[in-house]
Structure formats: structure tokens, C-alpha cells
Structure 1
Amino acid sequence: MNIAFFLLPKQDVVCFTQDTTLRQTLERMEYHRYTAVPIINEDGGYAGTVTEGDLLWYIKSRTDLTLDQTNKVKLLDVPLRINNKSVRIDSNMNDLISLAKVQNFVPVVDDMNRFIGIVRRSEIIDYCQKIIMEQHNILQDQ
């Protein structure tokens, strides 16, 4: 199975640039109710995934930071606790599944390492469930 089948294209994905402010990040994540969002660098490549935890730990470590000052902090300055990995569009399902075990979504890049979208863990689980059910039905029919 080609992973492109599962791809949610970049234009349909909420993502941030490294220049997005901390305030913008907080507001957009709250609005969309996302717990993790991909970050894109200036070349269009995947730069990482920011999580609610990353934002929380950054704010906690900056006791002098006010809400107004969050407009001056760039996402580039917020340390990411986890290095979420991406896959290339020509990767196989095993690569995708192994990453989906530990990530909410798997970022997908093209052969030039430009971000082209994500594959959600729920899509992968649905795919695996379908395979299991098909195999179960085959076994019952035998």
C-alpha cells in the first residue's frame, strides 16, 4: 500500500513556521483544539512538531514572561522535547506504522525534504483494523 493514499495534504494541515509567535501558536492550537502541530522551516521543510507540553514547559521556565510578551517569542526559540520523525512519500507502510505508534501523526516529506502533509494515526489504525477484519472473515469462511 502506498502511503500517499493516507496523506492529508499540506493545504489541509494547520502548521506553523519557525517565525510564528508563541502567542499565535497558543491561540491557533486552542482554536483548533490540537495538542501537536508540525513546524515548517523557511525552505518549506519539516522542522519538527510543537506540542502543548513544549509550550507549557517553555512558559514555566520563563517566570518573567507575560502574555503580552508572548508576541515577541518566536517558535524557533521554544525547545521541542521530542524529535518527531517524518517519512518520505515513497516510504513503506512498516516505516509509517512504527512511527505512528509513538506520534499522533506522521509528517510526510517529498524527495527534496519539503513538507507535503501528514498521515494521522487514526487513519493508520483504521487501515490496520480493516486488514484484521478481512483476515478474520477469510479465516471464518474457510
Structure 2
Amino acid sequence: MNIAFFITPKHESVCLEKDATMRQALEKMEYHRYTAIPIVDKQGRYVGTLTEGDLLWKMKNTPNLTFEGTNKISLKKVPKNMSNHPVSINAEIEEVVDLIMKQNFVPVVDDQEIFVGIITRKSVMSYLRNIAAEEIGNTDNLRSVSSM
């Protein structure tokens, strides 16, 4: 199965340019209540993922850095400790499932490495839940198990 069904397109996703500041990242992540966010370059290519942990470690390891000072630090200067591996728009679902077990989301890129969107763990889990419900034939039993 092709992954197009699962993609949240770029225009519906939240991402940051790599030239953004720590403050912009903190505010965007707080507003959307995200713990990680894709980073793209000026051409729209996926270049990595920024996490709350990356920001916290940068703050911890930067003497005298205040929240006010975060507006002067580019994301390029924030070491990234997590690597969310992207998949091609032409990937099959099996490749995504392998990654989604380790990542909250999987970035999706086209043939030129341009960021086209993300696949969330929630979308894959919902799909798998629906398949399991169909096989079981009783969604009420599956709902009671999933609410535990």
C-alpha cells in the first residue's frame, strides 16, 4: 500500500525554516503543543527534526542564556540529538511502520528531497486499529481493549 493515504500535507503540517530562532521554535512548539517539529531549508528540503530536548540541552549548555536571549540563537546553532528519517513519497507502508515505531512522525519527501508533509504515529495506529476491528468483526470489543 502506498503511503499517500496517511500524509498530512505540508500546508497542514507545522515546520520551521532552519534559519528560525530558538524563540520562534519554542513559541511554535508551545502554541501547537508539539514536542518535535520538522526543519526545512529555504528551498523546502527536509533537513532534520528539532525536539524540546534539543532546545533544553542548548539552554543548559549556553551560559547565561535567558529566554529573551533565545531570539538571537539560530536553529543552525542548536545540536540535533534525534534523527527522524524521512521516506520518499513513493514508499510503501511497511517502511513507514518500521520508522513510526521509533519516531513520533515520519517526514515525507519527494524525489528532490523537498518536504511534502508528515505521517503521524496516530494516523498509522488508527489505520491498524481499523484493520484489527474489521478482522475481529466487533469494534465495541476493540474499543474496550483500547481504552485500558
TM-score between both structures, scaled by the size of structure 2: 0.89
2:38 is paired with a residue whose SS is strand
What is the CA distance between 1:43 and its match in structure 2?
A: 2.1
Q: CA RMSD in A?
A: 1.3
Deviation by residue 1:13-60 (Cα, 9 ceiling, x = unmatched): 110001100111111111111111100012211111111111001100
2:107 is paired with a residue whose SS is strand
Deviation by residue 1:74-119 (Cα, 9 ceiling, x = unmatched): 0111011011100001101110001100111110001111000001
Name the residue aligned to 1:121: 121
Unpaired runs of 5+ in structure 1?
Answer: 138-142
What is the CA distance between 1:63 and its match in structure 2?
A: 2.2
Matches of 1:87 and 1:135 in 2, distance apart? 29
Name the residue aligned to 2:2: 2
**What letter corresponds to residue 86 of structure 1 in structure 2?**
P
Matches of 2:132 and 2:103 in 1, distance apart? 22
Indicate yes or no: 2:30 matched with 1:66: no
2:48 is paired with a residue whose SS is strand
2:131 is paired with a residue whose SS is helix
Q: Percent identity?
A: 48
Deviation by residue 1:52-74 (Cα, 9 ceiling, x = unmatched): 11100110011221222211100
C-alpha contact (below 8 Å) 2:84/2:105 kept by paired residues: no
1:20 is paired with a residue whose SS is coil
Matches of 1:136 and 1:69 in 2, distance apart? 55
Name the residue aligned to 1:140: none
Unpaired runs of 5+ in structure 2?
Answer: 138-148
Aligned residues: 138
TM-score between both structures, scaled by the size of structure 1: 0.93
Name the residue aligned to 2:92: 92
